[in-house]
């Protein structure tokens, strides 16, 4: 039955994507170590980019400083001279601020570089140890992938055997009913039947239609497609 095959695909896909509990902490530790290594690389890259920006700003400020210092020889009043000195002080302060930031960046980059070197040295052994402990699970994942592929192929073949209108109804119900679009009819009494999923009892006429296979019958409560499995 198509529904059973699709449920198999869903369950095995979930199983393949979920690391077993006894390996979850190993995977978490490995991923954290890898993330820390990547974060350190990003820290160094950001520091280098910021250093490049600061160097450019300092170059521009030094050019401005030279221009102001040259203008000192041409001013004619004390007021102009004082104003120009103030401008020079502002530029010098801006240069010092950027130089201080560069020093801080260099200290941080030195520490980050040492940390990255340590992590790079440890990483191959960490990765090898991780893969060794995950080897059996990787083999199981590969087996699950093969089983999923076979089940998907079987589902594709089964779909071709279902009448298009019924298949459309099946797919719609599967989406809204957690993958359970078809329900078996259970006999809960001598002449009384119920939907095996929602357990709502069926009218006698519906049970008769099912037994005679006159048409597609759906549960009046959950709307799933019903089928009769005669003993």
For 156-203, the pLDDT digits (tens) are 999 999 889 889 999 999 999 989 999 989 888 887 889 999 999 988
Same structural domain for residues 126 and 173?
no
Same structural domain for residues 61 and 96?
yes
Give a yes or no: residue 148 inside a domain: no
How far apart (Å, rounded) are the C-alpha atoms in residues 36 and 28?
Answer: 12
Domain that holds residue 29: 2-141
Residues 60-68, mean pLDDT to the nearest whole number: 95
How far apart (Å, rounded) are the C-alpha atoms in residues 192 and 123?
Answer: 67
Q: Bridge partners of 183?
A: 226
How far apart (Å, rounded) are the C-alpha atoms in residues 87 and 60?
Answer: 14
How far apart (Å, rounded) are the C-alpha atoms in residues 87 and 101?
Answer: 21
Same structural domain for residues 196 and 101?
no
Same structural domain for residues 190 and 120?
no
C-alpha triplet 208, 185, 200: angle, nearest 5°? 95
- Kindly report whether the global pTM for this prediction surpasses the value 0.75: no
Q: 30 or 188, which is more confident?
A: 30
What is the reported pLDDT for 188? 82
What is the reported pLDDT for 96? 97
Same structural domain for residues 131 and 179?
no
How far apart (Å, rounded) are the C-alpha atoms in residues 131 and 127?
Answer: 6
Same structural domain for residues 168 and 135?
no
Helix (H, G, I), strand (E, B) or coil at 179: coil
**In this predicted model, what pLDDT tens digit does every residue of 92-139 receive, in sequence order?**
999 999 999 999 999 999 999 999 999 999 999 999 999 999 999 999
């Amino acid at each position: 039955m198509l529904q059973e095959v699709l449920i198999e695909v869903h369950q095995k896909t979930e199983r393949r994507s979920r690391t077993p509990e006894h390996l979850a902490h190993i995977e978490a530790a490995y991923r954290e170590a890898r993330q820390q290594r990547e974060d350190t690389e990003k820290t160094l890259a950001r520091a280098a980019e910021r250093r490049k920006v600061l160097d450019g700003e300092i170059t521009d400020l030094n050019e401005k400083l030279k221009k102001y210092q040259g203008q000192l020889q041409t001013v004619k009043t004390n007021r102009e001279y004082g104003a120009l000195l103030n401008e020079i002080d502002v530029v010098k302060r801006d240069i010092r601020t950027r130089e201080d930031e560069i020093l801080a960046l260099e200290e941080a980059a030195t520490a980050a570089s040492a940390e990255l070197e340590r992590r790079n040295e440890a990483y191959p052994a960490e990765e090898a140890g991780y893969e060794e402990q995950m080897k059996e699970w990787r083999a199981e994942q590969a087996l699950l992938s093969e089983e999923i592929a076979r089940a998907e192929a079987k589902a594709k073949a089964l779909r071709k055997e279902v009448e298009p209108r019924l298949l459309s109804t099946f797919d719609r119900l599967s989406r809204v009913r957690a993958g359970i679009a078809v329900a078996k009819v259970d006999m809960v009494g001598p002449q009384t039947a119920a939907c095996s999923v929602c357990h709502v009892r069926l009218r006698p006429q519906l049970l008769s239609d099912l037994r005679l296979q006159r048409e597609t019958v759906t549960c009046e409560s959950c709307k799933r497609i019903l089928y009769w499995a005669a003993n």
